[in-house]
Amino acid sequence: MVEKLQQTLRDSAAARWTVLILVASMMFFAYMFVDILSPLASLLNDTLGWDQGDFGTYAAGEYLLNVFGFLLLAGIILDKMGVRFTGLLSASLMVIGAAIKYVGISDWFDANNLTWLNSWWVDMPGSAKMAMFGFMIFGCGCEMAGTTVSKILAKWFKGKEMALAMGLEMAIARIGVFAAMAAAPAISVKFAVDGTNSVVAPLLFASLLLVVGLINFFVFTIMDAKFDKQLAAAGEATAENDPEEEFHVSDLKQIFTSKMFWIVALLCVLYYSAIFPFQRFATNFLEETLAISNAEAAGLFKWFPILAMVLTPFLGAFIDYKGKGATMMLLGAIIMTACHCVFAFVLPAYPSKALALITILVLGVSFSLVPASMWPSVPKIIDEKVLGSAYCLIFWVQNIGLCLVPLLIGKLRVATNGYFVPMLVFASFGVLAFLLSFALKIEDKKKNYGLELPNKQ
């Protein structure tokens, strides 16, 4: 019996944690790329003529194609073709999108010679449109990669430290936000030309790191292919070795008819709509509210993911051994709402750097509680055969919010010439997320999905 348990790579701690490092590093580079231009919003305005509305539209581009169906297709691809094919496809799309985005803001692309871009579609600079198009391609790969990594960890850590692994992956990925906020201004200054800081150099740096992420994922595919052969030899049924486990489109009915799934999906979109769009505008918000420089504002906000990075693995381990996942989601929604209320009402009245930093750190606590408990909960409510599609459908719903909210915030920012109303919008998302997390807790108690129970077997 002991010999059978040692037949697969999953039973090797070194192997499964190596897999975690390989896929998490790819997500680290992806998260860094997402926010590499966020601390440079003012510079984009000065050098390329992007106003806050343009920046909001550009930021929404990351999610646009996903909203119009790509993520639904991605879920089917993931469950039908497996994690190796889908992971390589997603990493490649990120690299291609990054290259297009780089061209859009570089000297190579001169929007003045392509006047049709300036007038086509919406009234915004051609460079912003080109960058947005690249961001669309990147966003398809990034969101597909996120769901693929979740399914990879569910596969490799089944019956093991699943929540801890997912927590560590999220923590490593969020260091990318810290790295972007810290590195972008420094690289921008380092490669200044004629006294003008560079927006091209930070983006090029982040783009090259995506290539490293693609290489890392290729190494993972070699390990995973060997793992699947071992699973087949050990008699464990998978989509690759058992026709009964093969994915069919009709299996998606399990997801669409699940009340619990839709509660989680709506909770996800509301919670993340108050986090990721806020990240895009946070540096500029701090600049204006505290009357500080762009670099100083980025220096404050870069600490946002730090507590999340530190706490998420511990919270994941707690869920593995003690449970209480639904309770953590509830608490996280309460904390997030309180933080945005501070940004809306307290910080403008008392513009203190210390208060801003404390609130940012506390928001990071919320950003550890909800994701650390949400993503390991999905395998408890959805069959493994359609798990990839379930993750992608959640990401699709989430992307609708992440696409529309930056547009809304950008427009509100221009219309009100301030951040009070946008912060109230973020806080309202938190209130709704609290109500859904409360409903989730009640439904779990009724149906015994085990969200409050530990993962470790």
Q: What is the pLDDT of residue 1?
A: 38
Q: Quote the CA–CA distance of 435 and 429 in Å, as a whole number.
A: 10
Q: What is the pLDDT of residue 56?
A: 80
Of the candidates 161, 164, 191, the residue with the CA atom closest to the CA atom of residue 47: 191
Tokens coding 239: 């989509």
Q: Quote the CA–CA distance of 26 and 312 in Å, as a whole number.
A: 18
DSSP character string of 279-303? HHHHHHHHHHHHT--HHHHHHHHTT
Q: Quote the CA–CA distance of 57 and 70 in Å, as a whole number.
A: 19
Q: What is the pLDDT of residue 66?
A: 83
Establish if 288 belongs to a structural domain: yes
At residue 37, the 3 state secondary structure works out as coil
Establish if 310 belongs to a structural domain: yes
Q: What is the pLDDT of residue 442?
A: 93
Q: Are 25 and 39 in contact (CB under 8 A)?
A: no
- List all residues 6 or more positions away from 234 whose beta carbon is below 8 Å from its beta carbon: 4, 7, 8
Q: What is the pLDDT of residue 3?
A: 44
Burial 157-166 (b: 16+ CB within 10 A, else e): beebbbbbbb
Q: In the chain, which residues have pLDDT < 70? A: 1-6, 109-122, 236-249, 457
Establish if 234 belongs to a structural domain: no
How does pLDDT run across 372-389, given as a tens digit for each residue?
A: 888 888 888 888 778 778
Q: What is the pLDDT of residue 72?
A: 82
Establish if 71 belongs to a structural domain: yes
Measured N-to-C along each axis, helices 71-81 and 126-156 cross at an angle, to the nearest 10 degrees, of 30
List Cβ<8 Å contacts ≥24 apart for 105-113: 105/48, 105/130, 105/131, 105/199, 105/200, 105/203, 106/200, 107/200
CATH at residue 54: 1.20.1250.20
Establish if 233 belongs to a structural domain: no
- Paired residues of 196 in beta bridges: 193
Establish if 414 belongs to a structural domain: yes
Of the candidates 18, 30, 309, the residue with the CA atom closest to the CA atom of residue 171: 309
Domain count, the chain: 1
Establish if 113 belongs to a structural domain: yes
Which range of residues forms the domain containing residue 274?
Answer: 18-225+253-447
Q: What is the pLDDT of residue 10?
A: 84
How does pLDDT run across 258-307, given as a tens digit for each residue?
A: 899 999 999 999 999 999 889 888 988 999 999 998 779 988 988 887 77
Establish if 6 belongs to a structural domain: no
Mean pLDDT of the chain: 86
Q: What is the pLDDT of residue 248?
A: 65
